[in-house]
């Protein structure tokens, strides 16, 4: 149960335009007189990648290659009906880093993890391309999805080098040192989704 005084923070990881509507429902008529207190209590912040290809909305992707030895992460969405596409947007509850955090734990029955068939995710594809970090699916401030670009652009442990000071590297840059954005000791607080006592 969420504390009524908490800030509810949702992350929407969108690959296409999304229409968003926020409704606040009062189920108990005793609080109806307080409805005007909710005016201007919501805010929407739109953030976009702009450093993978400087000034453009380009992103780096991560690719999972199909191998029987690999267990799929919990934050992989199921395939759409065409059995090829992933959803165009993903929604996750993500408590702010500055608030008390009560992590969501993966579902289990009698201390055993609940697994779903991998065919619901792979289909006939040899790889799954993602624009967020797999296997990090229960992290403070991010929820189920950590966009790689968000981690690199917005984490306080990352340093951004101005575009005109960036030193590019290519296959002939032997012995040279790049000058570019970097992150050091970028810590993220996460919990295991799985019941790690199970073998």
pLDDT exceeds 50 at position 99: no
Residue 1 has a pLDDT of: 45
Write the CA distances from 40 to 24, 45, 104, 169, integer angstroms.
12, 14, 28, 48
Which among 91-100, 132-141, 161-170 has the top mean pLDDT? 161-170
CA distance 97 to 154: 13
DSSP 8: P
Q: Is the pTM of this model over 0.85?
A: no
pLDDT exceeds 80 at position 113: no
Residue 112 has a pLDDT of: 60
Which of 98, 190, 181 has its CA nearest to residue 139? Answer: 190
């Amino acid at each position: 149960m969420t504390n009524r005084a908490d800030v509810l923070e949702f992350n929407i990881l969108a690959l296409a335009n999304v229409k968003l509507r926020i409704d606040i429902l009062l189920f108990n008529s005793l609080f109806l007189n307080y409805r005007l207190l909710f005016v201007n209590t919501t805010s929407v912040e739109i953030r976009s990648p702009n450093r993978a290809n400087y000034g453009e909305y380009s992103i780096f992707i991560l690719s999972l290659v199909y191998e029987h030895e690999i267990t799929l992460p919990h934050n992989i969405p199921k395939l759409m009906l065409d059995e090829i596409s992933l959803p165009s947007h993903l929604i996750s509850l993500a408590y702010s880093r500055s608030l008390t955090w009560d992590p969501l734990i993966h579902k289990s029955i009698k201390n055993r993890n609940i697994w779903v068939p991998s065919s619901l995710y792979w289909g006939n594809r040899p790889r799954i391309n993602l624009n967020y970090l797999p296997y990090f699916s229960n992290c403070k401030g991010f929820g189920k999805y950590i966009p790689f670009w968000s981690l690199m652009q917005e984490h306080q442990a990352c340093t951004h080098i101005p575009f005109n000071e960036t030193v590019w590297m290519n296959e002939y840059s032997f012995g040279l040192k790049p000058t570019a954005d970097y992150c050091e000791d970028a810590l993220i607080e996460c919990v295991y989704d799985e019941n790690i006592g199970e073998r």
